[in-house]
Amino acid sequence: MEVAAAKLIGAGLAAIALGGAGVGIGTIFGNYLSAAIRNPSAAQKQFPTLLLGFALAEATGLFALVIALLILFAF
Amino acid sequence: MATNPMQQFEVHKIGPSLSINGIDISFTNSSLFMMISTILIITFFILGTKKVSIVPGKIQILNELVFNFISKMINETVGSDAKPYFPFILTLFIFILTMNMIGLLPYSFTVTSQVIITFFFAIVIFIGVTIVGFAKNGLGFLKIFVPSGIPVFLLPLLVVIEIISFLSRPISLSVRLFANMLAGHTMLKVFGGFVVSLGILGGWLPLSFSVALTALEILVAFLQAYVFAVLSCIYLNDALHMHH
């Protein structure tokens, strides 16, 4: 197989990791919502933690993007 | 007009090309936008502190908003004995925020979409936090790799895992910011290209999506700057207060 074709396949495979990122972000927000509906006054204080958790979960998906770009352009 | 969505990330020289000993130090569009961000930030803070009054004017309110936001964040994550680090964290946060936001304007260059720049930010924080940890705790700082309350036979494996995760901090910190900015701005350009190529009849659909995407990118710009600052504070807390 040519290198160019293998690169494209590799970059496409790297995008599968975004499924995990989606599950992670959904879990964080789902848990926050179910807790916030039970205890709205305490939920407001944890909003920064929610944003931090979202950004960390999103970062894992973006690491997959970086791997895809590395495969496409750096090898 | 750039037809390739990746063309916005090219760094090119502005003005004469200077070099010291073969190292290229000419002024680039990256330097230009870093300078623009710095001038904007300095102007913002000078205007806000010119006539300080008890009943604040508009810019003073904004200044105090930013100040209180970072001050509260530092108090919550590190505690009040990290006050000496407040100017550094404030500068870090507002510099990254301004560079992220300016990149959203058309025909501008997002400085934080260059991995070398975010890597340098992250490495400075990593080395700084390590030095602070060793200065405050001496060699006891190495206890950060030994979590408390684990059985002894797991110790060698766990220490290796902890060391690897400690060393991956600058990488994750820099790649998070870089990849967010890269992905967001690439998507903006790609959908912009769709608007042009679909023309008058079909162009309103990608245009509305581009508007929503720009709103999301403004949120992401703020969020990534905040997350960078918060994680730096958390790493500082690990170094300053080592209760394991």
CA angle (B92 as vertex; B89, B94 as ends), nearest 5 = 105
pLDDT digits (tens, 9 = 90+) for B29-48: 899 999 999 999 999 999 88
Q: What percent of chain B has pLDDT above 90? A: 46
CA angle (B146 as vertex; B140, B147 as ends), nearest 5 = 120
* Chain A closest-CA separation from residue B201 CA (Å): 32
Give yes or no for A59 touching B (CB within 8 A). Answer: yes
DSSP string, chain A: --HHHHHHHHHHHHGGGHHHHHHHHHHHHHHHHHHHHH-HHHHGGGHHHHHHHHHHHHHHHHHHHHHHHHHHHT-
* Chain A closest-CA separation from residue B50 CA (Å): 31
Within 120-179 of B, beta carbons closer than 8 Å to A belong to 172, 175-176, 178-179
Q: With contacts defined as CB-CB under 8 Å, which chain B residues touch A59?
A: 172, 175-176, 179-180
Q: With contacts defined as CB-CB under 8 Å, which chain A residues touch B182?
A: 65, 69
pLDDT reading at B24 higher than 60: yes
At residue B3 the predicted structure's pLDDT band, cuts being 50, 70 and 90, is: low
| Rounded Cα distance, A2 and B63, in Å | 57
**Cβ–Cβ below 8 Å for B176 and A55:** yes
* Chain A closest-CA separation from residue B178 CA (Å): 9
ipTM computed for the complex: 0.80
Give yes or no for A47 touching B (CB within 8 A). Answer: no
pLDDT reading at B1 higher than 50: no
Give yes or no for B78 touching A (CB within 8 A). Answer: no
Instruction: Report whether B148 contacts B104 (CB < 8 A).
Output: no
Task: Give the pTM.
Answer: 0.88
Q: With contacts defined as CB-CB under 8 Å, which chain A residues touch B97?
A: none
pLDDT digits (tens, 9 = 90+) for B48-107: 888 777 777 788 889 999 999 999 999 988 888 888 999 999 999 999 999 999 999 988
**Cβ–Cβ below 8 Å for A62 and B176:** yes
Give yes or no for B74 touching A (CB within 8 A). Answer: no
Give yes or no for B187 touching A (CB within 8 A). Answer: no
Go through the domains of chain A in sequence order and give each one's CATH number. Answer: 3-73 (1.20.20.10)
